[in-house]
Amino acid sequence: MIRDVSDFEKLFKLHYSRLCSYANLFLNDPDAAEDVVQEVFFKLWKNREELVISTTIKSYLFRAVRNGCMNVIDHISIRDAHKIINEEDMKESESNLIDETILSELEQRIKETIDQLPAERRKIFILSRYEGLKYREIADRLNISVKTVENQMYQALKFMREGLVDYLPLILLIFKGLFRDE
C-alpha cells in the first residue's frame, strides 16, 4: 500500500489531476474540487497506518472524492438555506422596525393635531373616537345638543383631514396592511 513518502508521491501524481476533474463534475468549481482532492490525500496520508482499503486504491480515491464532494454540496445547501432564512428574518425585522417607526410618527402627528383643536371640540372628538360614545351620549354627558356635537365633530374631522393630509398615503398603507390576507 503506502509504505513511505515516495509511494504517496507516485499515487498523488498518478491520480491528482483526474480526481480534480472528477470532483469538478460535482462541484463545478475548480478551486473547491482541488480542496476536496487535497483533503482526501491529506486524510489518506494521516491515516495511512490504520487504513484498510478493501478495493483498489484508485476506486478508494474516487469514492473518497465523491463522498467529499457530497459533503461540500450538503454544506452549501445548508448554508444557502440558512442564508435565505436569515435574509427573510432580516427583511421582516427591518419591515417591523420601519412599520413601528412610521406608526410612532403617525401617532405623534395625530396627537399633535388633536391637541390643536379647541378645548370643547377636542373633548367631543376624544369622547367619540377614543371612548366610543355615540353623539347622544356625548350630548347628555356635556349638557349640549346632539346638533352641537354633530357640528363640532364635523369641524374636528375637517381639521384632522387638513392637518394629516401629508400622511394620507401612509394611513392608506397602514389600513391596507391591517386588512391583508396572511
pLDDT for residue 95 is more than 70: no
Give 125-181 pLDDT, tens digit per residue.
999 988 889 999 999 999 999 999 999 999 998 998 888 888 777 666 666 655 554
Angle at 85 between CA 82 and CA 91, to 5 degrees: 140
CATH numeric code, 116-178: 1.10.10.10
Ranges of CATH 1.10.1740.10 domains, the chain: 5-83
The pLDDT of 32-41, averaged and rounded, is 93
Question: Where do you find CATH 1.10.10.10 in the chain?
Answer: 116-178
Please tell me the predicted confidence (pLDDT) of residue 177. Answer: 55
**What local confidence, expressed as pLDDT, does residue 148 receive?**
94
Name the more confident of 95 and 113: 113
* pLDDT score at 182: 43
Which pLDDT tens digit goes with each residue over 38-69? 999 899 888 888 878 888 888 989 999 999 99
Average pLDDT, the chain: 84
CATH classification for the domain delimited by 5-83, as one of 3.30.70.1880, 2.60.40.420, 2.60.40.3080, 1.10.1740.10: 1.10.1740.10
10-14, 38-42, 88-92, 119-123: segment of lowest average pLDDT:
88-92
Predicted pLDDT at 104? 80
- Residue 50: the pLDDT is 83
Residue 154, class by beta-carbon neighbours within 10 Å (0-12 exposed, 13-18 middle, 19+ buried)? Answer: exposed
Q: Which amino acid appears at position 141 of this protein?
A: R
Report, as an integer, the average pLDDT of 81-101. Answer: 72
